[in-house]
Amino acid sequence: MTELEASRIVEELRNLDIGTVREDEPLRRHTSFKIGGPARVFVEPDSQSGVVAVLQWVRDHEVPYFIIGQGTNVLISDQGLNAVVISTSRGLKSIAVDPPCLRAGSGVLLTKLSNTAAKAGLSGLEFAISIPGTLGGALVMNAGAHGSSMVAVVKRVTVWDPVHGVREIAAKEAEFEYRQSRFQKTPWIALDATLELEPRDFAAIRELMTHHMEYRLRSQPVGEANAGSMFKNPLPHYAGQLIERIGAKGWHENDAEVSMLHANFIINRGSARAIDVLRLMRRIRCAVFGDAGVILRPEVRWIGPGEGGTNTSWDNLWYEEGAGLKAPCE
Ligand SMILES: Cc1cc2nc3c(=O)[nH]c(=O)nc-3n(C[C@H](O)[C@H](O)[C@H](O)COP(=O)(O)OP(=O)(O)OC[C@H]3O[C@@H](n4cnc5c(N)ncnc54)[C@H](O)[C@@H]3O)c2cc1C
Q: What does CATH list as the number for 3-87?
A: 3.30.43.10
What lies within 8 Å, CB to CB, of 5 at 6+ separation is none
Write out the CATH class of domain 95-204: alpha beta
Q: Is 68 in the pocket of ligand 1 (CB under 6 A)?
A: yes
Active site residue 179: yes
Is 32 close to ligand 1, i.e. is its CB under 6 Å away?
A: yes
pLDDT in tens, 94-103: 999 999 999 9
Of the candidates 199, 87, 81, the one whose C-alpha atom is nearest the C-alpha of residue 134 is: 87
d(CA 309, ligand 1 centre) in Å: 21
Distance from the alpha carbon of residue 38 to the mean position of ligand 1, in angstroms: 20
As a whole-number percent, the residues of the chain with pLDDT over 90 amount to: 80
Residue 173: active-site member: no
Q: Are strands 198-199 and 122-123 parallel, antiparallel or unpaired?
A: antiparallel
The candidate with the shortest Cα–Cα distance to 127, out of 141, 139, 110, is 110
Among the listed residues 179, 273, 283, 285, the single catalytic one is 179
Q: Which CATH class is domain 225-299?
A: alpha beta
Which has more confidence, 150 or 308?
A: 150
pLDDT at position 161 over 90:
yes
Is the bond leading into 100 cis (omega within 30 degrees of zero)?
A: yes
Whole-angstrom Cα distance, residue 153 to residue 40?
A: 36
CA separation for the pair 173, 142 (Å, rounded)? 13
Q: At residue 171, does pLDDT exceed 80?
A: yes
The one catalytic residue among 229, 253, 283, 321? 229
Among 126, 257, 299, 321, the active-site one is 299
Does 48 sit in the ligand 1 pocket, CB within 6 Å?
no
Which pLDDT band holds residue 4 (cuts at 50, 70, 90)? Answer: confident
| CB of 144 shorter than 6 A to ligand 1 | yes
Distance (Å, rounded) from C-alpha 21 to C-alpha 37? 17
Pairing mode of beta strands 81-87, 256-258: unpaired
CA of 268 to the centre of ligand 1 (A): 18
CB 259 near ligand 1, within 6 Å: no
A 10 A CB-CB count for 56 gives 15
Side-chain half-sphere of 298: how many Cα atoms within 13 Å?
Answer: 23
Using alpha carbons, select from 257, 238, 237, 236 the residue that is nearest to residue 248: 257
Q: Which protein residue's CA is at the shortest distance from atom 32 of ligand 1?
A: 137
Average pLDDT along the chain: 91
**In angstroms, what is the span from residue 107 Cα to ligand 1's centroid?**
11
Per-residue confidence band for 307, with pLDDT thresholds at 50, 70 and 90:
very low
**Cα 113 to Cα 280: distance, rounded to the nearest angstrom:** 34
Confidence of residue 319 (pLDDT cuts 50, 70, 90): very low
Question: Which of the four pLDDT bands, split at 50, 70 and 90, describes residue 272?
Answer: very high
Give residue 327's pLDDT: 60
Q: Which DSSP state fits 170?
A: E
Percent of the chain's residues with pLDDT above 70 = 92
Domain residue extents for the chain: 3-87, 95-204, 225-299
pLDDT(308) > 70: no
**What mean pLDDT is predicted for residues 138-149?**
95
Q: From the CA of 54, how far away is ligand 1's center (Å)?
A: 22
Mutate to test the pocket of ligand 1, among 42, 54, 68, 262 (most ligand atoms within 8 A of CB): 68
Beta bridge partners of 123: 198
* 264 pocket-lining for ligand 1 (C-beta < 6 Å): no
* Average pLDDT, integer, range 104-131: 97
